[in-house]
């Protein structure tokens, strides 16, 4: 269900929660709510459209596929008269079904549960394949909620799959408007299942985008371009679908990097990395990766050629707006680590 297909009151509340989460991200707020959460209470109230499961102890033959609560609020269970279920808690509806079933079964023990709620919902926005509003199933947790929304958005980037979610900036906001202490990076990257929290009514899940993070590849490659950064990206992964010209000097691949206003220039032997003689190199957002020609060996020549190559590649592609800086400012003042 789209966020625009719900009533104005719910839409305004969820948009407010989203804005509050963004503010928390921007200012680094640390006033988080504990991730210890209880399951939906037994006093869950039934509403029209809910799918209800009815089971009778020691009578599996009376098991039935989930029954939708009709628009008139009644539950139409076989053998008995319709039971008014709307706005009533589950145990109360179960007791009435027991009473009506006692004409056919001796001392029936009935359990009523909601398999799909039309009342209790959560919203997921951002880089999910199918963002929107979804009903909460009993016992639903964060990973299941993401799965119901189609999973994390990925991008086919030159034959490799690029994850478009920024786990560090993704967050959850509870119905009370407070951000939950959920670490998406620990959950997805480290498998920390303590972060796989229970989904509660009114939760908002926001999967932040990685698209603001880019990496530039240029020089003696046949397809120089801007690529989206993915967390954990390495030089081998970055260069996997790059085709080199016959002039490429893979022993002098150069990474220009800006971190905390400090510019560095790192020269690596990519040939030895590919043969695993030396470790792979981690790529960071906004890195400039330059593959020089084979006749360039001096740092001064490498630096000047990289500037000219970058200008000829990215000015024509109008990619420099991303930086809002001059070429000299981006590459100037770089030092070797």
Task: Give all domains of the chain, ordered by start, each with its CATH number.
Answer: 3-37+120-207 (3.10.560.10), 51-116 (3.30.1950.10), 214-331 (3.10.560.10)
In this structure, the strands spanning 288-291 and 214-219 are: parallel
Name the residue among 121, 94, 93 with its Cα closest to residue 204.
Answer: 121
According to the model, what pLDDT value does residue 301 have? 62
The answer to whether the predicted template modeling score (pTM) of the entire model surpasses 0.75 is no
Beta strands in 65-142 (DSSP E): 67-68, 74-75, 83-84, 110-116, 121-126, 132-135
Non-local (6+) Cβ contacts of 253 within 8 A are: 235, 239, 267, 268, 269, 270, 289, 290, 291, 292
Q: Is there a contact between 46 and 114 (Cβ–Cβ < 8 Å)? A: yes
Between CA 157 and CA 144 the distance in angstroms is 26
According to the model, what pLDDT value does residue 83 have? 94
Q: Which uninterrupted H or E stretch holds 52? A: strand 51-56
Between CA 18 and CA 133 the distance in angstroms is 13
Task: State the CB neighbour count (10 A cutoff) for residue 170.
Answer: 24
Q: Is there a contact between 86 and 69 (Cβ–Cβ < 8 Å)? A: yes
Residue 307: what are its φ and ψ, rounded to 5°? Answer: -60, -45
Q: Which uninterrupted H or E stretch holds 289? A: strand 288-291
Name the residue among 309, 280, 281, 291 with its Cα closest to residue 250.
Answer: 291
Q: Which uninterrupted H or E stretch holds 51? A: strand 51-56
According to the model, what pLDDT value does residue 271 have? 92
Between CA 255 and CA 291 the distance in angstroms is 9
Chunked mean pLDDT (size 10), the chain, 337 residues: 50 51 46 53 72 90 85 90 91 93 91 80 87 83 93 70 79 81 92 92 84 78 77 85 81 83 84 93 87 72 62 45 38 49
Q: Which uninterrupted H or E stretch holds 15? A: helix 8-27
Q: Mind listing the pLDDT tens digit for each residue in 265-316? A: 888 999 999 999 999 999 988 788 888 888 766 656 666 666 666 555 544 4
């Amino acid at each position: 269900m789209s966020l625009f297909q719900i009533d104005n009151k719910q839409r305004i509340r969820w948009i407010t929660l989203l804005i509050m989460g963004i503010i928390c991200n921007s200012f680094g707020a640390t006033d988080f709510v504990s991730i210890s959460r209880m399951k939906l209470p037994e006093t869950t109230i039934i509403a029209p459209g809910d799918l209800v499961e009815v089971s009778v102890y020691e009578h599996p033959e009376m098991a039935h596929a989930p029954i939708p609560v009709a628009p008139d609020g009644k539950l139409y269970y076989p053998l008995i008269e319709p039971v008014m279920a709307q706005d009533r808690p589950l145990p109360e509806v179960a007791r009435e079904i027991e009473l009506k079933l006692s004409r056919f079964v001796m001392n029936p023990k009935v359990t009523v549960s909601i398999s799909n709620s039309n009342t209790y919902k959560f919203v997921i926005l951002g880089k999910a394949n199918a963002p929107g509003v979804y009903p909460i199933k009993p016992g639903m947790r964060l990973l299941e909620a993401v799965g119901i929304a189609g999973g994390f958005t990925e991008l086919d980037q030159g034959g490799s799959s690029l994850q478009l979610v920024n786990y560090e900036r993704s967050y959850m906001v509870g119905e009370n408007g407070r951000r939950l202490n959920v670490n998406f990076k620990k959950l997805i990257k480290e498998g920390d299942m303590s972060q796989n929290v229970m989904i509660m009514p009114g939760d908002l899940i926001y999967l932040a985008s990685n698209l603001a993070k880019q990496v530039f590849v240029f020089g003696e490659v046949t397809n120089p371009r801007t690529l989206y950064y993915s967390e954990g990206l390495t030089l081998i992964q970055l260069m996997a679908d790059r085709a080199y010209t016959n002039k490429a000097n893979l022993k002098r691949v150069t990474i220009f990097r800006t971190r905390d206003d400090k510019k560095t220039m790192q020269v690596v032997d990519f040939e030895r990395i590919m043969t695993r003689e030396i470790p792979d190199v981690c790529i960071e957002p906004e890195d400039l990766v330059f593959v020089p020609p084979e006749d360039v060996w001096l740092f001064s020549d490498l630096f000047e050629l990289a500037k000219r190559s970058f200008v000829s590649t990215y000015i024509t592609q109008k990619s420099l707006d991303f930086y809002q800086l001059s070429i000299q400012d981006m590459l100037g003042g770089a030092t070797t680590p």
